[in-house]
Amino acid sequence: MIDKKTKRTPPSVDEWLKEAKKESSASEEGMLLIHNGIVRQTTKAKVRSGIEDGLTVKAMEFSYDAEKVDMAIEAAYKLDGIFHIKVWLNEGYLEVGDDIMYVLIGGDIRPNVINALQFLVEKIKSECVTEIEIV
């Protein structure tokens, strides 16, 4: 039987942005970029590999290793021009449309911020989380 743990309440993006703009590093930042990952009904096999399996995702079991996430954030802070990072991850039984994660990156110029967001989201997805699609 699937453990339908209570999912976490997502953060307020408006509050995250207000907090980021109040930090001492805010005067060096020219861009704040947010990623919001959500559960979709299309399987990873179809989206990533084009495999038409005829399956539809109904939900997802999602978990993460907090220590690995912290290490990923530390690595992202070492990238050029990055001054602010905030990450929130959900957990448990998530349904289609539920938030999986929010990632906020603040930095000096657009290319650096986009690169850092790409780097951090990829690192989290490939090294820190477990996603089990329920079809």
Q: Tell me the per-residue pLDDT of 94-116, one tens digit each, with 9 for 90 and over.
A: 999 999 999 999 999 999 999 99
Q: Could you report how far apart the first and last alpha carbons of the chain are, in Å? A: 14
Q: How far apart are CA 43 and CA 37, in angstroms?
A: 14
Q: Tell me the per-residue pLDDT of 15-27, one tens digit each, with 9 for 90 and over.
A: 999 999 999 999 9
Calculate what percentage of the chain has a pLDDT beyond 90.
Answer: 84
Tokens matching residue 67: 């220590």
Question: In the chain, what are the domains?
Answer: 13-134 (3.90.1170.40)
Tokens matching residue 96: 């289609």
Q: What sign does the CA torsion over 121, 125, 128, 134 have?
A: positive
pLDDT at 2: 45
Q: How far apart are CA 27 and CA 102, in angstroms?
A: 23
